[in-house]
């Protein structure tokens, strides 16, 4: 089973059983956003976590093996056609240069790590309307010459 086939099996089982990403993240013992990305093929799970998830979803050993393999990260053909992903891409295109400038101004010459990194996504209410709140928390890495 390929990683893409495992993702499809996970989605079919998850939706068919009414399981939430949060429940699967608890089984994986990892943060919700990271676990969701892993189960969508963007990170490998350790074997024990993959076995717990597979057991909950009724998936076989081939799915466990696929969940533990290293992925080709960002390899999601057609993802920019999805409106939510496109808007996040647009957000980086519009605000990325400002974020870069502010990181350099506040921290110096360096970058925010996407490896030593965490992210949360929450639903918040403002003025009686639901809003999406995404928090990015990356370690600052100074360039060292």
Burial 86-112 (b: 16+ CB within 10 A, else e): eeeeeeeeeeeeeeeeebeeeeeeeeb
CA-to-CA distance for 121 and 117, rounded, in angstroms? 14
**If you ran DSSP here, which 8-state letter would residue 8 be given?**
H
Q: Is 79 assigned a catalytic role? A: no
Query: Out of 47, 87, 118, 131, which one is annotated catalytic?
Result: 87
Among 51, 84, 83, which residue's Cα sits nearest to residue 66?
51
CA-to-CA distance for 5 and 28, rounded, in angstroms? 19
Query: Out of 5, 48, 113, 131, which one is annotated catalytic?
Result: 113
Query: Out of 5, 48, 61, 90, which one is annotated catalytic?
Result: 90
Q: Is 113 assigned a catalytic role? A: yes
Q: Is 105 assigned a catalytic role? A: no
Residues noted as catalytic? 87, 90, 113
């Amino acid at each position: 089973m390929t990683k893409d086939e495992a993702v499809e099996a996970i989605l079919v089982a998850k939706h068919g059983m009414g399981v939430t990403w949060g429940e699967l993240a608890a089984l994986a013992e990892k943060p919700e956003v990271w676990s969701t990305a892993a189960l969508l093929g963007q990170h490998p799970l350790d074997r024990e976590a993959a076995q717990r998830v597979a057991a909950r979803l009724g998936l076989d050993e081939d799915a466990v093996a696929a969940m533990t393999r290293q992925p080709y990260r960002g390899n999601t053909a057609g993802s920019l056609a999805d409106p939510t992903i496109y808007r996040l891409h647009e957000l980086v295109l519009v605000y990325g240069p400002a974020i870069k400038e502010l990181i350099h101004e506040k921290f110096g010459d360096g970058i925010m790590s996407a490896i030593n990194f965490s992210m949360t996504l929450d639903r918040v209410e403002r003025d009686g309307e639901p809003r999406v709140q995404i928090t990015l928390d990356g370690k600052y890495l100074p360039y060292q010459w």
